[in-house]
Structure 1
Amino acid sequence: MESAADDFDIGIVENLLRDGHHDGAIAYVVRGAVPAAVCETVHANFRTIISVEGTQRALDDIIKADQVGATQFKKSGQEYALNTARLQVSMLSLFDGLSADETSRFMLDDELRTGFLARGLHFGPARFKSTYSNYCTIRAWLRNGEMSLQPHEDISQVEAARADEFEIQTTGQNTMSFNICVRSDGSGGAVRVWDLRPSPTTRRSLGLHDTGYPYPAEFVEDIPHTTIVLEPGDSYFLNASFLHGVEPVVGERITAGRFVGLSDDDHRVMFWT
């Protein structure tokens, strides 16, 4: 399901959060959501930060990417909050040369805030004690074996938030991934979505209940899938409880993203990274 930016429908996003789908569709693509000039400025700032500071993602054998911004993956609320605070100067530098309004446009903040408010929902960053989550994470995907990002789901990591009561633990079972394509030079990098939402039993049997990453390639080889192809400025909202990944990238492909969830009291839509 997709629409142009001028026809953005907050009702579809709310349905993905509440029900996990909209008329059976688990993804919503918004074409031309972000102006080209905004994407170009963020891209230039991102490359400057990476050239000076290097990637802000810990080096490991799981995901290889140049990254700016903190992520909650495999972290407690305390660890995530500390990492978010440590990287705030770099995050602010991502938006050098942009106005406050242009920065809000980058992650569709105004559309989401006003749209949810009209439906009686508060929209904002997830809270941990006295702090709030990171604004967004931006990555350049690198070669990482058969895929740039292996098959995974993003509900398992929410389970880890229960340990120290990070607010995202209240978001239930329909964690949503929201991503913007910032740059695409070359080929590949499409998002592949498999028609499977692993059960807690399946997640435990694979030892992935607390991380959701990575599912073995042989586990998904016979499962039907679709692909989402984004051009710079396009965005998508995806029920991230379904298995998904990023196809191999040749050239440069940069995306910015965050997770979004609806609290179990139905009053608050929160985001984190």
Structure 2
Amino acid sequence: MMTAEVSKGPAISPLTMKERTGSISTADIISVLKGEVTSLHIRQGFSIEVADAITANFARNAGLKERKDGVPGQYVGASHYRKDAVGYFADAANARPFVGALFGSLVDPVRGLFDALKRELHDQGTELRLARSAHGEANICRALCWSGTGMYTLEPHDDVAQVLCAANEELPAVAHNTVVALNFYPSMPQEGGNLRIWRHKPTVADRKSQGLETTGYPYSAGYLEAVPYQDIELKAGDIALIDGGFVHGVTQQSGSGKRRLLLNCFLGFARPDLVLWWT
């Protein structure tokens, strides 16, 4: 007797989401790196004065560009997305002075966090450094302002596919651990622009079924229809870390005035004794 095969929808994975107010700690970051926490939202993680200054520096930055890789938005910096190692590290070198200009004489909150985490991991016998190759070295962050016009300002996606398929020889090893997306938010709109996380962590087979093997972008509304999600409501001065293996996106922003601006980087274990950081 033959039975019809029942098609299975996306697997539902548990989310461990934490939120608190105040400065971020290195222990917070390490908990996400080790996969103990799915997302961490730090309210008022850095000062509004610094946030406003970074926002102004972004708007007048000579390195401000429109993305041309199929993901609508403006940016300052470099992205490894859909790039080979030569192109990515060349972009990083060219963008470095413009990334520096985002901060000028300000106390750089991203560099401050990087340096603190580097000291803490060193004490634990683990090295933290920027990703590199014979072609150059990654920048510490990039600035992004997404501009999608549909239901999402940034469509649902995962960050693992692009790392697993990265041409840089160092990064694919991170995809076998937790790929952490670290975001600082200098500016947020009056409404919307929430970080939405679905309770689904796609496998290679899942991505292949959707034709997203190398990009992880974008997952369709139909694919995610039955998957529960949770939103992180963000304000200027907030910091968020997420396990980028979970599908996530940015809800449409509304209201006039301020736009949604973030400083973004990625980090993860390449080996038990090495954490890489890149954009």
Please tell me the TM-score bracket, short chain as reference: 0.7 to 0.9
**SS of residue paired to 1:108:** helix
Q: 1:226 — aligned with what?
A: 230
Match of 1:45 in 2: 57
Instruction: Give the residue type in structure 1 aligned to 2:129.
Output: G
Question: Which residue does 2:11 correspond to in 1?
Answer: none
Give the equivalent residue in structure 2 for 1:186: 190
Partner of 2:4: none
| Matches of 1:14 and 1:91, distance apart in 2 | 25
Q: How far apart in 2 are the matches of 1:218 and 1:236? A: 27
Q: Give the corresponding residue for 2:173.
A: 170
- Superposed CA deviations along residues 142-187 of structure 1, whole A, max 9, x for unmatched, are 24311001110000011222x451x112212310110011111321
Counterpart selection for 1:28 from 28, 31, 40: 40
Deviations 1:7-54 (A, max 9, x none): x34334223222x233xxx101122221222111111110001xx554
Return the structure number with greater helix share: 1
Distance 2:97 2:28 in 1: 34
Give 1:129's match in structure 2, choosing from 127, 134, 153. Answer: 134
Deviation at 1:69, TM superposition (A): 0.8
Q: Secondary structure at the match of 1:263?
A: strand
Structure 1 CA distance for aligned equivalents of residues 25 and 52 of structure 2: 26
Aligned-residue offset at 1:243: 0.3
2:241 alignment partner in structure 1? 237
Q: Which stretches of structure 1, 4 residues or longer, exceed 6 Å deviation after superposition?
A: none
From the superposition, tell whether residues 95 and 56 of structure 1 become closer, same or farther in structure 2 (CA, over 3 Å): farther
Number of aligned residue pairs: give it: 258
Q: Is the 8 A contact 2:268 2:276 kept in 1?
A: yes
* Corresponding residue number in structure 1 for 2:277: 271
Runs of at least 5 residues in structure 2 that lack an aligned partner in the other structure: 1-17
Aligned match of 1:72: 80
> Which structure has the larger Rg over C-alpha atoms?
2
Alpha-carbon spacing, 1:164–1:175, altered in 2? closer, same or farther (3 Å): closer
The amino acid that maps onto 1:63 is V
Question: Distance between the aligned counterparts of 1:107 and 1:3, measured in 2?
Answer: 20
* Cα shift at 1:230: 1.5
Q: Residue 92 and residue 2 in structure 1: after superposition, are their counterparts in 2 closer, same or farther (change >3 A)?
A: same
| Residue number among 3, 6, 22 corresponding to 1:5 in the alignment | 22
5+ unaligned residues in a row in structure 1: which ranges?
A: none
What letter corresponds to residue 3 of structure 1 in structure 2? R
Distance in 2 between the 1:118 and 1:32 partners?
A: 28
On the 8 A contact 2:177/2:270 being kept in 1, the answer is: no
Distance 1:106 1:34, change over 3 A: farther
- The separation in 2 between residues aligned to 1:175 and 1:150, in whole angstroms, is 18
1:260 aligned onto 2:264: no
SS, match of residue 165 in structure 2:
helix
Match of 2:201 among 197, 200, 204: 197
* Conserved? CA contact 1:143–1:249, under 8 Å: no
Between 9-18 and 231-240, report the one with greater CA deviation: 9-18
When normalised by structure 1's length, the TM-score is: 0.88
**How far, CA to CA, are the matches of 1:97 and 1:185 in structure 2?**
26
